[in-house]
Structures are given as structure tokens and as C-alpha cells.
Amino acid sequence: MPRVHIQDFYVPALNTNLPNFNSTTTTANFIFFDLELKNEMKEVGVRYKNIDLTFYYSTPKPSLISIANYTIPGFYQGHDKAARRCNVVETRGMPWLDAFAAVSNGSTVVFRVELSAAVKLKRFFGSYSKTKHLLLGANVEVNGYGEKVHKKSIKLKQRVPKRVKDMAATRESELNLRVVDSNASVYSA
């Protein structure tokens, strides 16, 4: 499967060095990102359907606020090729005052980027595989310059959908099973 990395991530509203910046009336409510998709498979191409990106802001309480969505149009990527997508996304519902206060104190803030895409693999002899789903995500730590803290690229790793994770966390003893017998009586286990 393809590998996806965040090469660059910049949030100008969190750059404390910008002159005449007032975080209460910010008009710089956007995020620059540079995403790299690598197909390192030999003799196999990748056909991406639309790639959906969701951006989250991680609050001090362990919760995520959805702040932006972006769709990269589908495309074909040949074997052993890399594709870069540099774009800007406008945010909404972002608590700029809290985030700016955190980075002004020398701390960092965390954003989360999640990717969802359907892909088909094109084999050497021209046929396509069944559709496979990519569900990837990564946390991006941002400093007072509005830049990602780690200079190296950040790999988006496979994530488990929330419903599956919740099901896996539930023990059999916690399940409320209902069994119906042939006499239409209902039993709770």
C-alpha cells in the first residue's frame, strides 16, 4: 500500500513573531500543508479515488475539535513514484485564543490529520484489484513559529475506525446480548 507523509505544516496564526498580530481578530485562519504520497510497490500502480483529509485541534482536555476538511481529487500514480500535494485549508471553529496563549508561553499545540481514501491497485498485466480503503492519521505538534516541531516528515499511520475500536474495547461480559428462541421469548444474557 502507498505510504503517506506530512512534509510541511504551517499555521500562520500561531506564529508569535509576526508583526502587528492580534490573535483576537485573526484573519489568518488557515493551515498550509504539504502531503507526500509514495508508491514504493514494484510493478503495481495505484488509482486513488478522492482523498479526504480531516484536520483536528487537540484541546488540553484529551478531546479533538474538527476544524477543517479538504478533498484532493483522485488520480493515478505509477509504480515506484511519489506525488506531492501542497495546499491551503481554511479552518472553522478553531479556538485561536487558547492555541495562541499556549504557544506564547513556549509550549506547543497538537493538531491531528486524518486521511481516508479508496484505492485500487493496477497490476502489471493491466487489471485492477478490488477497492481497498486507506484510513491513516498522525499528530502534528506545532510551536510558536507556527511550524511543525519535528523537522523530519511525519508518517501517517494506519488507524482503526472508532466503531471498531469501541467494539474491541468492549468485553464479552459487558455485552447486553438478546437471544430470541423459537417461542418468541426474549432472554437477556
Question: 170: which 3 cell numbers?
Answer: 468492549
- φ/ψ region of 184 (left if φ > 0, alpha if ψ in -120 to 50, else beta) reads left
Distance CA 150, CA 154 (A): 8
Q: What pLDDT score was predicted for residue 178?
A: 33
Percent of the chain with pLDDT over 90: 48
| Mean pLDDT computed over 149-164 | 79
**CA end-to-end span of the chain:** 42
Average pLDDT over the chain, rounded to whole? 81
Is residue 171 over pLDDT 70? no
Comparing 55 with 128, the larger pLDDT belongs to 55
Give the Å distances, CA to CA, from 101 to 10, 57, 94, 141, 168. Answer: 17, 14, 13, 15, 38
Q: Which backbone phi and psi does 151 adopt, to 5 degrees?
A: -70, -30
Is residue 135 over pLDDT 80? yes
| Mean pLDDT computed over 160-181 | 40
Q: What pLDDT score was predicted for residue 60?
A: 79
Residues 62-106: pLDDT tens digits? Answer: 789 999 999 999 999 988 899 999 999 999 999 988 898 899 898
DSSP result, 118-185 = EEEEE-TTS-B---EEEEEEEEEEE-TEEEBS-SS-EE-EE---HHHHHHHHS-GGG---EEE-TT--
Domain architecture of the chain: domains with CATH: 3-160 (2.60.40)
For 167, residues 6+ apart whose C-beta sits below 8 A from its C-beta are none
Its pTM stands at 0.79
Q: What pLDDT score was predicted for residue 25?
A: 54
Whether the CB-CB separation of 15 and 146 falls below 8 Å is answered with yes
Is residue 175 over pLDDT 60? no
Is residue 52 over pLDDT 70? yes
Distance CA 157, CA 159 (A): 6
* Position 179 confidence tier, pLDDT thresholds 50, 70, 90: very low
Bridge partners (DSSP) listed for residue 133: 118
Q: What pLDDT score was predicted for residue 124?
A: 72
